Amino acid sequence: MTLTVKAFIKEFKSQFQSMYAYSYKEGSTEQLYNALGLYIKNYLSRNWKETKEDYVENSVKQVYYFSMEFLPGRQLESNAYNLGLLDTIKEGLNEMGMSLEELEEAEADPALGNGGLGRLASCFMDSLASLGVPGNGNGIRYQYGLFKQKFVDGYQVELPENWLRYRNVWETRNDKSTCMVKFGGNVWLEKNHLGYMEAKYENTLNVLAVPYDTPMVGYRNNVVNNLRLWSAEIPVEEEENYHTLEATEPIKEITQVLYPDDSNYEGRLLRLKQEYFMVSAGVQSILRHYKKYNLPRKNIPDKVAIHINDTHPALVIPEMMRILLDEEHLSWEQAWEITFKTCSYTNHTILREALEKWPIDMMKDLLPRIYMIIEEINQRFVDTTAPIYGDRITWQTAILQNGVVNMAHLAVIGSHSINGVAKLHTEILMEDVLKDFFELYPERFNNKTNGITQRRWMHLANPGLTRLLDEKIGEEWKKNPSELKVFKGFEQDEKTIKELAKVKFENKQRLADYIEELQGIKVNPKAIFDVQIKRLHAYKRQHLNMLHILYRYLDIKENPSKDFVPRVFIFGAKAAPSYMYAKQIIKVINSLAELINNDPDVGDKLKVVFFENYGVSLAEKIIPAADISEQISLASMEASGTSNMKLMANGALTLATLDGANIEIKDFVGEENMFIFGLSSKEVYELKAAGNYNSKGIYESNEKLRHTLDALTNDTIPGLNGEGYAVFDSLVNYNDEYFVLKDFESYIKAQEKVDALYRNTDEWTRKSLLNIASSAPFSADYTIKRYADDIWKVKQHSEQKDS
Ligand code: 26V
């Protein structure tokens, strides 16, 4: 069924009219966007329905990806593209005197996540659908997404992100599939008249979980999967008990806001409520859906795989046990076998402060029955482990320790598979963070290096590059990313090199225009665009980047006649609202930018741009224009990184420590086509173990570094109120937790190599070409294929039908 431009125009007009009862010519941009979005949603609804029906009719195994965070980005263009409608729609809109780009800007970018973890979940949703793997997302429909970031005098301020203000055309409220979630109260076990033990509750807080479903559209394959986000409401039959607005608060607040902290575990009761709310509704709805298959309960693991994205949804394990024990009346052994075979877990961080631990008292009060089950899981674990492995390991791996519930331990004990997100990260899990568990269950551990969807991050974000690739190597790479390697054959082709340089230049020009429009800063598109985009955290070391900029600025001031290669440093980063040090780093970078961008001695040689409110939509604008990808975390700290993959695929050269997936980037593209610096993770471990790191000593002995650091505190940078001192202090007087000073010298050297190479445009572009051509292994399609084959044991739908 192909849609003609004429038919589209006719249908669009009538869609608009039916919604607003006047002509589209009178419509506001938001209204036109809404009409177009709903038009596309109607268009795909048949595939959505048929995909669902197909899964049930063929009793296929389905995956449920449980995640507290999703960062889907805008969906208008990507849905139209995956459906094969994009060109028709663009043309039709033009004929009606509109442009898709303009309407698109009216779409809210749902910021239902903090960073890498949430964006990965959304790349995975795209790949699941595009591969035709029966896969569903399960999460929370936060009323307010991650805060909107503004800079006031260079300081971050946070504003609410009311993304649902103008309605969300993609979602469908599904009142037929609500669930009840119970909190608190008293619970006891009682034999019922059939002789089964039954859990009895009194005085619970009952919360209605209402699902909102969003279509996840596969790439030209007629598959539409489901992302189910839950919203908390007062149960209809209890409405009369809630007399005042205030009384409804404890329920409504459950799905009101996303926690904006991705680095510190906060022992907040509300967060635990959110986790259980999502988990309980999700598991109930899965088990209810399973009944449609008319199969025995022991077959659940043959038809259902539940994935636990970080520990946040780990309560899936006791919740599934609860339902199988209390409602299905299975024995503990039967229930455990089913649960364990169904669940799998991914770890996304080794940061100790991010590993979730809940006070036992809090868990007991809020989730009494769940706590009873966790206690029993723990007891049985201890009873089987201690006699074989001894008390020490048993104690170190127990779920209940020192008054807390260790969620990572619960996730590991209750899952048949545990994976890290890059080779090095998985090794660190096995050798350090989860070492004792690796001894107990070596067969459960495996690596699944992250990936990204090329559809959003290349095809749509970088049409110039996509066109060039299509022209040179044909369109096969779009369905089969490994074909990208064919592009390597053009490495020595002068014409292609020039064309590729032109594509990059045009992208940079576009970003330069945007920067000028947004911030009034004029940047030279011929300069090196040096990009660091990620959450602001000390371990990611934006302050190392900042020190290099400061060093360069001082160099320009002191050596005005030196020949500098012009550079534009671009940042995008949010700091958790309570993370003072991260906010101080933002302020220092902003004040430094203000100084540099307005210094007539500097001119084009150096510019610094810090974008406000970094998110998926901004990333789509920045990434295609990047020359340098800054991946400078302290080795061992960054689990994987995914902006590194997006930037590589768009032809940026990576400047990196050997951390996370940077190591795999090096394996694929070769060391000579990137810039590596700094300590290796082995050296970091050794340095930590030696315990003799002395940052002050480095400060005192390295003249260049001292000169740079002193500029943080001697009024070189106007507008600071102690933030320069704070950074100086942490690096010099508090022994520099993330070894910034240790890596400084080698970072500067790597930066000098960047300048030298950039002087040779062809050589630079050749390396850029090799990066693009080597980026295929980071396709999320491959990552998902490996999850599907190794962990979930779920086949692509078409294969399940055949077998
Ligand atoms: C922790 C917490 C703690 C409590 C409050 C809310 C909250 C939200 C998120 C997190 C964990 C963040 C973990 C995370 O985002 N890890 C990142 O995962 C990426 C995808 O695997 C990976 O590329 C990054 O290296 C890793 O930092």
Is 646 considered catalytic here?
yes
CB 348 near ligand 1, within 6 Å: yes
535 alpha carbon to ligand 1 midpoint, in Å? 10
3 found inside a domain: no
264 alpha carbon to ligand 1 midpoint, in Å? 10
Is 271 considered catalytic here?
no
Q: Based on the domain organization, do 763 and 797 belong to the same domain?
A: no
459 found inside a domain: no
pLDDT band of 803, cuts 50, 70, 90: very low
CB 115 near ligand 1, within 6 Å: yes
CA dist 750 and 754 (Å) reads 6
Q: Based on the domain organization, do 296 and 148 belong to the same domain?
A: yes
Q: What's the whole-model pTM score?
A: 0.98
Q: Give yes or no for residue 802 having a pLDDT over 60.
A: no
Q: Based on the domain organization, do 501 and 383 belong to the same domain?
A: no
CB 450 near ligand 1, within 6 Å: yes
Q: Give yes or no for residue 744 having a pLDDT over 70.
A: yes
Beta bridge partners, 64, equal 136, 306
Ligand 1, atom 3, residue with closest C-alpha: 265
Ligand 1, atom 10, residue with closest C-alpha: 262
**pLDDT, mean of residues 673-691:** 98
Active-site choice (425, 456, 540, 548): 540
Helices and strands in the chain: count of H runs, count of E runs: 33, 23
Q: Based on the domain organization, do 609 and 729 belong to the same domain?
A: yes
pLDDT band of 801, cuts 50, 70, 90: low
CB 354 near ligand 1, within 6 Å: yes
Q: Based on the domain organization, do 708 and 795 belong to the same domain?
A: no
Contact status, residue 90 vs residue 52, Cβ threshold 8 Å: no
Is 90 considered catalytic here?
no
Q: Based on the domain organization, do 698 and 611 belong to the same domain?
A: yes
Q: Based on the domain organization, do 792 and 694 belong to the same domain?
A: no
Q: Based on the domain organization, do 160 and 308 belong to the same domain?
A: yes
pLDDT tens for residues 567-590? 999 999 999 999 999 999 999 999
pLDDT of residue 2: 86
12 found inside a domain: no
pLDDT of residue 192: 85
- Assigned token pair, 2: 């192909």
514 found inside a domain: yes
Q: Based on the domain organization, do 533 and 402 belong to the same domain?
A: no
Lowest-confidence range among 102-116, 262-276, 451-465, 607-621?
Answer: 262-276
**pLDDT, mean of residues 734-741:** 98
User: What ipTM was reported for this prediction?
Assistant: 0.96
Is 759 considered catalytic here?
no
Chain-centre distance for alpha carbon 289: 28
Q: What is the mean pLDDT of the chain?
A: 97
Q: Based on the domain organization, do 254 and 275 belong to the same domain?
A: yes
Lowest-confidence range among 17-26, 374-383, 518-527, 791-800?
Answer: 791-800
CATH no. for residue 507? 3.40.50.2000
Q: Express as a percent the part of the chain with pLDDT over 90.
A: 96
**pLDDT, mean of residues 218-237:** 97
Q: Give yes or no for residue 489 having a pLDDT over 80.
A: yes
100 alpha carbon to ligand 1 midpoint, in Å? 34
pLDDT tens for residues 638-679? 999 999 999 999 999 999 999 999 999 999 999 999 999 999
Q: Determine the atom of ligand 1 nearest the C-alpha atom of 271.
A: 5
Residue numbers of the domain that contains 644: 492-773
Q: Based on the domain organization, do 442 and 514 belong to the same domain?
A: no
CB 120 near ligand 1, within 6 Å: yes
Q: Give yes or no for residue 776 having a pLDDT over 70.
A: yes
What secondary structure, in 3-state letters, does 64-119 show?
EEECCCECCCCCHHHHHHHCCCHHHHHHHHHHCCCCHHHHHCCCCCCCECCCHHHH
pLDDT of residue 800: 64
Among 607, 606, 648, 653, CA closest to 627: 653
**pLDDT, mean of residues 164-169:** 94
Q: Are strands 62-66 and 135-140 parallel, antiparallel or unpaired?
A: parallel
Q: Determine the atom of ligand 1 nearest the C-alpha atom of 119.
A: 20
Please name the residue that has the structure tokens 């950039």. 758
311 alpha carbon to ligand 1 midpoint, in Å? 10
795 alpha carbon to ligand 1 midpoint, in Å? 28
pLDDT of residue 194: 84
Is 291 considered catalytic here?
no
Could you tell which of 310, 535, 631, 783 is best to mutate to test the pocket of ligand 1, judged by most ligand atoms within 8 Å of the CB?
A: 310
15 found inside a domain: no
8 found inside a domain: no
Extended beta strands in 519-589, E state: 528-533, 567-572
**pLDDT, mean of residues 683-690:** 98
14 found inside a domain: no
**pLDDT, mean of residues 252-279:** 92
351 alpha carbon to ligand 1 midpoint, in Å? 9
**pLDDT, mean of residues 102-117:** 97
Is 29 considered catalytic here?
no
Q: Determine the atom of ligand 1 nearest the C-alpha atom of 450.
A: 21
Among 228, 217, 221, CA closest to 76: 217
Which residues, other chains included, contact 307 with Cβ-Cβ below 8 Å and sequence gap of 6+?
63, 64, 65, 66, 343, 344, 345, 346, 787, 791, 792
120 alpha carbon to ligand 1 midpoint, in Å? 10
Q: Determine the atom of ligand 1 nearest the C-alpha atom of 259.
A: 6
332 found inside a domain: yes
Q: Based on the domain organization, do 710 and 754 belong to the same domain?
A: yes
State how many domains the chain has.
2
pLDDT band of 264, cuts 50, 70, 90: confident
CB 640 near ligand 1, within 6 Å: yes
